């Protein structure tokens, strides 16, 4: 059937990494191979001479980091590949974690100089929780870094996953000669080529081939033969099922900036990465092969195009066929919606699409109807599960520094917190606004975007708040508690009361005084 054929073409994955590991640069090169761009940008020294395609927000271009997930689609070898390039900075981990719910596999980028870093471990924990298949790309091999065998040991030990080298580096740093491709027993010699495609794979008849001695210095040939003999003895052949169940991660070595070692990884990804997988909902598992449409919102972004002040909700299609101008049911609102201009993305550029299949990511114009985690179906009432929300760790009060732009500030903070970048709590007394985030950098991004996208100037003043707790229990107890602690009660975006506990001791006192009330650290208890 044509429908099953379309599903079999889809490969949807996220690229994850610690900041500065080269993740966004790798995304660029994938687009280069997919024919979406002719020239790749270069990220150097945390400054961007020519901004990379997937970092489209102005603050990303200035700082040289990704602070929002970018969605891109390209065709390669008869497949439709959907890449989600995620923020690496720990302050934006929430966006990355949610993105991981919308993909079927992951490519993890590791810096060969720094090895496995703290954020890499946190991201892999999320992948391990879901048994997400992982391919590892060890980047920056043209810089002096760790020994490849030490790196493999570190990857296994710190990431709690088995590894299986698919290519093997010949030296490293300034003496980096290239890689030996283990499955095909061929050689790829290194050449610094930052902006165009190259195909330097040399076919040889394994390591016994005499060509090797004319292509490489004798000491390099001797070491390569020794290394590969050891690798073959330890690792053998890759078991595809071990990869698909998340137990083994194929490992490739290369240099994203120099466009080296990427094509063989992309070719392997196309061959072994999973097609769209079943998804858990509040009532049952949904199979991608089901003919009735279903999907969920995993990201919302305001002002994707600053000239048009648009707001886009990103939908992952899970089953059936999404069609333009067809009515679908918004489960939470219990309303029918149809979409005249659904979009497919290549970073910030987009084109109208008529239909989409499981695995595809669709951009929907949103006037405020969607929240992260919302489900659309053809009528069946269920909600997709496993879309995480996080309790804020840092709280600051939003202070308006330009009263003439109050309306712009109201609209801006409303829209930006809808994206999941931060949580907004409003106190009725004095209409005070408190913003909670998981990291300091989010406040800087909020302040920058409020000024440059909405024309609203503000500052954030730290407030002593230990936890924001949603409260559930009997109406009488709730009313009594809110009267008792009225100076610490605020409301979230859905008008639910939230207790802003100043210290752990005050929270404990409230729990002891009101044993029949439950204090929740995330709003998920309502779902």
Q: Among 330-334, 425-429, 477-481, where is mean pLDDT lowest?
A: 425-429
Please report the pLDDT score of residue 27 as a whole number: 84
Give 64-77 pLDDT, tens digit per residue: 443 344 778 888 88
Please report the pLDDT score of residue 155 as a whole number: 95
Which region holds residue 440: left if phi is over 0, alpha if psi is between -120 and 50, else beta?
A: alpha
Secondary-structure class of domain 279-377 per CATH: alpha beta
Do 2-272 and 279-377 share a fold?
yes
Please report the pLDDT score of residue 246 as a whole number: 93
Length, in residues, of the chain: 527
Please give the share of the chain, as a percent, with pLDDT higher than 70.
85
* DSSP state letter for 328: E
Instruction: Tally the C-alpha atoms within 13 A of residue 402's C-alpha that lie toward its C-beta.
Output: 14
Rounded Cα–Cα distance for residues 498 and 516 (Å): 16
State how far the alpha carbon of 338 is from the alpha carbons of 302, 327, 328, 356, 369, in Å: 20, 5, 6, 14, 12
Kindly state the average pLDDT of the residues 90-101.
Answer: 68
Helix (H) or strand (E) holding 233: helix 218-235
The fold for domain 2-272 equals Rossmann fold (3.40.50)
Please state which CATH number belongs to domain 394-526: 3.30.70.3280
> Domain locations in the chain?
2-272, 279-377, 394-526
What Rg value do the Cα atoms of the chain yield, rounded?
25
- Full-model pTM: 0.77
Q: Among 152-156, 172-176, 368-372, where is mean pLDDT lowest?
A: 368-372
Rounded Cα–Cα distance for residues 434 and 418 (Å): 14
Bridge-based pairing of strands 279-280 and 167-170 is unpaired
* DSSP state letter for 389: -
Please report the pLDDT score of residue 199 as a whole number: 56
Handedness of CA 84, 33, 119, 412 (dihedral sign): negative
In the block, which residue shows the tokens 């993909």? 103
In the block, which residue shows the tokens 């003999």? 229
Rounded Cα–Cα distance for residues 19 and 13 (Å): 19
State how far the alpha carbon of 91 is from the alpha carbons of 62, 96, 393, 421, 438, in Å: 17, 10, 10, 9, 6
Rounded Cα–Cα distance for residues 27 and 15 (Å): 8
Bridge-based pairing of strands 134-139 and 105-111 is parallel
């Amino acid at each position: 059937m044509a429908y099953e054929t379309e599903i079999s073409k889809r490969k949807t994955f996220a690229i994850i990494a610690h900041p500065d590991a080269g993740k966004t640069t790798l995304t660029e090169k994938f687009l280069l191979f997919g024919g979406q761009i002719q020239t790749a940008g270069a990220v150097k020294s945390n400054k961007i001479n020519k901004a990379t395609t997937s970092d489209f927000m102005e603050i990303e271009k200035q700082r040289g980091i990704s602070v929002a997930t970018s969605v891109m689609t390209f065709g390669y070898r008869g497949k439709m590949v959907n890449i989600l390039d995620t923020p690496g900075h720990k302050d934006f981990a929430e966006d990355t974690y949610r993105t991981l719910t919308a993909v079927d596999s992951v490519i993890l980028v590791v810096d060969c100089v720094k090895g496995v870093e703290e954020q890499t471990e946190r991201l892999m924990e999320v992948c391990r929780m879901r048994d997400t298949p992982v391919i590892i790309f060890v980047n920056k091999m043209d810089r002096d870094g760790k020994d490849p065998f030490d790196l493999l040991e570190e990857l296994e030990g710190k990431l709690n996953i088995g590894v299986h080298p698919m290519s093997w580096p010949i030296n490293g740093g300034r003496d980096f000669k290239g890689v030996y491709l283990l499955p095909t027993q061929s050689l790829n010699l290194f050449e610094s080529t930052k902006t165009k495609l190259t195909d330097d794979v040399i076919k040889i008849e394994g390591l016994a081939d005499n060509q090797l001695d004319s292509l490489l210095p004798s000491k390099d040939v001797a070491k390569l033969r020794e290394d590969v003999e050891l690798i073959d003895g330890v690792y053998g052949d890759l078991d595809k099922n071990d990869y698909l169940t998340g137990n083994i991660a194929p490992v490739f070595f290369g240099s994203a900036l120099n466009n080296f070692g990427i094509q063989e990884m992309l070719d392997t990804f196309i061959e072994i990465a999973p097609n769209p997988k079943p998804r858990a909902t509040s009532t049952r598992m949904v199979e991608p092969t089901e003919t009735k449409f279903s999907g969920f919102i995993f990201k919302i972004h305001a002002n994707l195009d600053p000239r048009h002040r648009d707001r886009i909700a990103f939908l992952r299609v899970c089953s059936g066929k999404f069609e333009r101008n067809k009515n679908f049911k918004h489960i939470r609102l219990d309303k029918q919606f149809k979409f005249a201009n659904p979009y497919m993305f290549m970073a910030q550029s987009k084109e109208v699409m008529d239909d989409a299949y499981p695995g595809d990511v669709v951009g929907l114009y949103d006037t405020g109807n969607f929240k992260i985690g919302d489900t659309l179906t053809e009528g069946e009432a269920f909600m997709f599960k496993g879309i995480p929300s996080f309790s804020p760790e840092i709280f600051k009060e939003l202070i308006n520094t330009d009263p003439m732009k109050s309306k712009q500030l109201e609209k801006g903070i409303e829209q930006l917190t809808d994206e999941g970048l931060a949580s907004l709590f409003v106190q009725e007394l004095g209409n005070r606004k408190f913003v909670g985030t998981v990291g300091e950098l989010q406040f800087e991004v909020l302040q920058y975007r409020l000024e440059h996208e909405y024309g609203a100037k503000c500052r954030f003043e730290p407030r002593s708040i230990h936890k924001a707790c949603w409260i559930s229990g009997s109406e009488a107890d709730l009313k009594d508690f809110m009267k008792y602690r009225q100076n610490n009660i605020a409301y979230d975006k859905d008008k639910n009361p939230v207790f802003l506990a100043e210290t752990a001791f005050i929270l404990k006192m409230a729990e002891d005084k009101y044993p029949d009330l439950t204090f929740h650290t995330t709003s998920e208890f309502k779902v």
